[in-house]
Structure 1
Amino acid sequence: MARRDPRRGFRRHRPPPGVCPVAAGGAIDAANHTESGRRYLLWKSDGNCCETDTWIHLQPTTWDGTRTTGEPVRLIRQDRDWEGSLVEAPTLVKRGDHYVLFYSADAYGGDGYKIGYAGRTPSPAPARRRPPRW
């Protein structure tokens, strides 16, 4: 990360990582979601590196996204046959009162890599997940 100093230009800035669950394999595939003036970080726990589950999380952050402000919420993990050993690369979209989480699944190095989605309304009902259709 770099920060701009008006007198000296850009300087390298290395804050500690905001999210790094070492026991879960670390965190990768970060994306952000902004809604009603609040910012959230989406990220994947990289469990496939160490043969544990991969989860996609949602976590609130500061307005500039540099610090987390609350605990992560687990959204989905690889629990469908077509998802193979992982879920990753999340993107969250809201249309009206419906949320759609797009994500990739399975091994990226072959023909089995897929894009899936999970949908949810703002109710306590569980997310409905759909496999890809080509």
Structure 2
Amino acid sequence: MTTTPDPHDLEQIRAIVRDVQDGFNTNDASLMNAHLADDAIVVNARGAVLSGRTAIQKVSEDALAAGYLNESTAYYELSDVAALSPDVIAARKNAWSTKQDADDDNPPEMNALYIFVKRDGRWLIWRRQNTIVSS
């Protein structure tokens, strides 16, 4: 059974997603990954499964510095946010290259499923699966 997250928890989740977005847009892998759990697993937009914060950080640094994400930008919107328990939240994130694309009601270019866990009073990204939406 799912419930609506507490408003304070929801704001923390939104702030985490903003940090991911801001880190991505400024090529700052540290900010982008600041809220990953040490045992996080991420499936990136290319389908690679990355295990552990250290590995995710390294791949992010390479992709943002001079790799395939270097000149990319993104705008994110959370939807379908549900508390699965007091310490677990699931959410879907829609993504566009720009806010204007979202404002123009263009379909999302990517979506992601996030699982957040609360550890030691702090919300962390435990799982993230990115999926590019084909047009």
TM-score band, normalised by shorter chain: 0.3 to 0.5
TM-score (norm 1): 0.35
Compare relative contact order (CA 8 Å, sep 6+) and give the higher one, 1 or 2. 2
Q: Which entry has the higher C-alpha Rg, 1 or 2? A: 1
The structure with more strand, counted as a fraction of residues: 1
The structure with more helix, counted as a fraction of residues: 2
TM-score (norm 2): 0.35
